[in-house]
Amino acid sequence: MSKRQKTSLMRIIITAAMFFPLLVAEHMGRMDSMPRWAMLIIFLIPYVIIGYDVVKKAFINISHGQVFDENFLMMVATFGALAVSEYSEAVAVMLFYQVGELFQSYAVDKSRQSISAMMDMVPEYANLETEEGLAEVDPDDVEIGSIVVIKPGEKVPLDGVVIEGESMLDTSALTGESVPRRIKEGEEIFSGCINGNGTLRVRTSKEFDDSTVARILELVENAGDKKARVENFITRFAKYYTPIVTLSALALAVIGPVVTIISQSSVKAQALSTVAASLAASGEIKNIISNWLLRACTFLVVSCPCALVISVPLGFFGGIGAASKKGILVKGSNYLELVSKVDTVVFDKTGTLTKGEFKVKRIIADTKAMKDLKTVGSSADDVELAILDIAAHAESYSTHPIAMSIIEAYRERTGERSEALLDSSRVENAHEDAGHGVDVRVDGRMVTIGNGKHLEKHGIKYEPCDENGTIVYVAIDDIYAGAIVISDTVKDGVKDAITGMKQAGVTRCVMLTGDRRPAAEYTARDLNIDDYYSDLLPQDKVIKVEELLTKEQEGRYLAFVGDGINDAPVLARADVGFAMGSMGSDAAIEAADIVLMDDDLGKIASVISISRRTMGIVKQNIVFAISVKILVLVLSAFGFANMWAAVFADVGVAVLAILNSMRTLKN
C-alpha cells in the first residue's frame, strides 16, 4: 500500500469509528431532542475528516473550469443532504465514496503489480567485459559488439550471439514454455531469458532499447493505447451519462415540487394558488421541496460512471497480461476483441504448418533422355547423380529454400564438404523467374529447371509426377530429363492445435500454399484443414485473403497466421495477423497484431479462449453496472430508493466490477 493509500485508510477508520455510534444513536431516537444546529455540528466533524479533500478538489477544479467531475457531484450531493437534514446520509455517502476510491486504487495497483511480476524479465544489470575485468553496468550503457558474461541463474541482459559456453536457458518469461532450451556456442540468445547452470560469454548484437525484452515490454505497455470498440463505447457513454444524470437531478429538484403541488390541487379540486398558500402556511411545502431535493441528490451520487470507466480497461489489461504470461503478445485491446469473434483462420503452409525444412526425397531420371543427351555413366544411381549435379549448379545462385535443399542433397551424395563444391565457371546466364524456376546455361547446355508451369512456358513436354511434395522438373536443351521430389515435414502438434481451434469456435481453417494441388491436398487432408488454395505466388496470398475477407459475415473476423518473414502484407491485411516463432524476429513483431513468441500453434486456441473470457467479463460488467445504475435512478426518481441504495449503485458496483475484472488475470 502506498503512503497516500495508508493515509486514506486511516481517515476511513477514524471516520467510521466516529460515525457508527452516531448512526446507532440516531436510529435509537437518542438524538430526536437535539436541536438541528447541534446535530449538524456533530455530523460535520466526521464529514470534514473524510470529505475535506473532495470538497477542496471540487473547488480547485471549478476554478479550472472543470465542472461535472466526480468531486463536484459528491460535494453537491452531500451538501444537499446536509441542507435537508439528512446528516448521516451525507457522511455515509462521503465515507463509502472514499472506501470505493481506496479500493479502486488498491485494485489497480494490485493488477499492475501482478502484470509487472509476470513481465518480470527486465534485466537490472549486465556483466560487461572490460580491460579491468568484469564490470556490472546498466544494460542501457552496453554498446553493440561488446562482450557480456552471463553467470548461472542470471537474466540475459541483451540480445547477442554466444561465443563461449553452454547452458540450458529458461525462456518461460518470453515464450511461456517451461522446458528449458539448450544453448551453445554460435547460437543466438535473447534478452529476458534466464540462464541455467552454465556460464556464457555473449557478443551483443543489439542495444538495450532494441533488444527483445525492451520491445516486448513496450508492446505490452502500449497495448492499452489501441482501444477496443467497447472501450470507446464506454468513453462516449461516460461523456453523456454524467451531464444527463446531473441535469435530470436538477430537473427533479425544480419540477418535482411543482408537480406534487399541481397533483395535490387536482386531487383536492382546489385552485393552485390556494393549495400553494395552504401548504406554505402549514410548512408542508418545505417537506415537499426537501423530499425532491433528496431524490435529486441521490441522482448525483449515481451519476459517476467510475465502475465502467475503470473496470473495462482493467479487464482488457488483465486479458493481455494473461496472454503474455503464455508467451502471446497482444498488441492492443482491439485485437483481443476481434480475436474473440474470429471464425476463419488462414494459414500460410510453409514455416507455419510445416517446418520449412525441405529435403530431397527422391530423384526421378528419364534414363533414355539422359542417354540421348550423353550426360551419363552406366548405373541408374549415376543418372540420378547427374541430374542432381546439373540441378545443383543451375540453382547455385538462388537462395530459395528449395534450391538450398537441392544443393544440400548434392553435397550429401558427393560427400564433398568444402565450399568449393559448386564450380561456378560451369554456370552462365542465370535468369530466375521468381516463383517458377530458373533458366541457365550449365556446361554450355541450356537448362530449364522449375515447376510444371515453367516448363510449359518453354513448351517442354514432361512427365507430371504426382508424388507428395514439391516437384522440380529438369530439362536439358529443351528435353525433359528428370524430376526431383522435395518434401517438407509437418510441425509437431499442428493437428492437435487445429482440433483445439475448432473446439474454441473456429469454423473454418484455410491453408494457402505455393505447392501444387496434390501436395496441398495431401497436407490439408492430413491436418483436417477445411480448405486450401494451391499454386499461389507470394503476391497471390494477399489477393486470396482479401477474397476471403469479403466472404466474412458481419461481426465475424478472419485471422491470418504466418511466420512474419515474407508475409507482412498479408498479416497487415487480415483482421487479425498472427506471427509465430517470433522470438528475436523484429519484422514479425512489427507486422503482426498478435505475436506468438514460440512455434506452438496451439496458442491460437489459448488466445481465442482468453479473449472470449475477457470479453465475457467486460460485458458482464457493462450490463451489470448500467442496469443497476438505471434501476436505482428510476427507483429514486419515484422515491423508492434512498441514498444508501445510491451509494451501493456507485461504490458497490464499482468494487464488484473491479473484482470481476481482476479475474481476467487468472487463467
Compute CA distances 621 → 316, 548, 615, 625, 649, whole Å: 12, 34, 10, 6, 13
Given 120, 170, 209, 348, the catalytic residue = 348
Q: Which of 47, 208, 292, 317 forms a contact with other proteins (CB under 8 A)?
A: 317
Residues numbered 588 to 607 that lie near other proteins (CB under 8 A) are none
235 binds other proteins (CB under 8 A): yes
Give burial (CB, 10 Å; 0-12/13-18/19+) of 263.
exposed
Gyration radius from the chain CA atoms: 36
Contact stretch for other proteins (CB under 8 A) within 308-316, 415-423, 520-528, 637-645:
308-316
- Minimum CB–partner distance for residue 4 and other proteins (Å): 6
- Minimum CB–partner distance for residue 336 and other proteins (Å): 14
Q: Which of 253, 310, 449, 571 forms a contact with other proteins (CB under 8 A)?
A: 310
Between CA 583 and CA 596 the distance in angstroms is 8
Residues numbered 52 to 91 that lie near other proteins (CB under 8 A) are 57, 60-61, 64, 66, 69-70
Q: Toward other proteins, which CB reaches closer, 27 or 112? A: 112
224 binds other proteins (CB under 8 A): yes
Q: Toward other proteins, which CB reaches closer, 147 or 238? A: 238
Q: How many C-beta neighbours within 10 Å does residue 279 have? A: 19
- Minimum CB–partner distance for residue 142 and other proteins (Å): 21
Q: Render 250-287 in DSSP notation, one character per residue.
A: HHHHHHHHHHHHHHHHHHHT--HHHHHHHHHHHTHHHH
- Minimum CB–partner distance for residue 105 and other proteins (Å): 6
Residue from 631, 636, 649, 630 nearest 292 by CA: 636
Residue from 630, 625, 631, 626 nearest 653 by CA: 625
> 3-state DSSP call for residue 649?
helix
200 binds other proteins (CB under 8 A): no
Side-chain-side CA neighbours of 652 within 13 Å: the count stands at: 14
Residues numbered 268 to 307 that lie near other proteins (CB under 8 A) are 305-306
225 binds other proteins (CB under 8 A): yes
Between CA 551 and CA 163 the distance in angstroms is 52
Residue 300 · residue 242 · CB < 8 Å: no
Residues numbered 10 to 29 that lie near other proteins (CB under 8 A) are none
Q: Toward other proteins, which CB reaches closer, 68 or 644? A: 68
Q: Which of 85, 105, 199, 367 forms a contact with other proteins (CB under 8 A)?
A: 105
Which DSSP symbol is given to 650?
I
Residue from 86, 74, 99, 97 nearest 43 by CA: 86
- Minimum CB–partner distance for residue 563 and other proteins (Å): 29
Contact stretch for other proteins (CB under 8 A) within 139-147, 216-224, 382-390, 591-599:
216-224
Give burial (CB, 10 Å; 0-12/13-18/19+) of 372.
middle
Q: Toward other proteins, which CB reaches closer, 10 or 272? A: 10
Q: Toward other proteins, which CB reaches closer, 162 or 216? A: 216
Which are the contacts of 5, defined by CB distance < 8 A and separation ≥ 6?
102, 105, 106, 109
Residues numbered 236 to 275 that lie near other proteins (CB under 8 A) are 238
Q: CB under 8 Å, gap of 24 or more: what pairs does 240-246 form?
A: 241/303, 241/305, 242/68, 242/73, 242/303, 242/304, 242/305, 243/68, 245/299, 245/300, 245/302, 245/303, 245/633, 246/68, 246/73, 246/299, 246/300, 246/303
Between CA 195 and CA 428 the distance in angstroms is 50
Residues numbered 110 to 129 that lie near other proteins (CB under 8 A) are 111-112
Q: Toward other proteins, which CB reaches closer, 66 or 266? A: 66
Q: Toward other proteins, which CB reaches closer, 329 or 345? A: 329
Side-chain-side CA neighbours of 638 within 13 Å: the count stands at: 6
- Minimum CB–partner distance for residue 619 and other proteins (Å): 18
Q: Which of 74, 252, 309, 336 forms a contact with other proteins (CB under 8 A)?
A: 309
Q: Toward other proteins, which CB reaches closer, 314 or 559? A: 314
Residues numbered 477 to 516 that lie near other proteins (CB under 8 A) are none
- Minimum CB–partner distance for residue 302 and other proteins (Å): 15
210 in catalytic set: no
Any idea which residues carry the catalytic annotation? 348
Chain contacts with other proteins (rule: CB under 8 A)? 4, 57, 60-61, 64, 66, 69-70, 101, 104-105, 108, 111-112, 221-222, 224-225, 235, 238, 305-306, 309-310, 313-314, 317
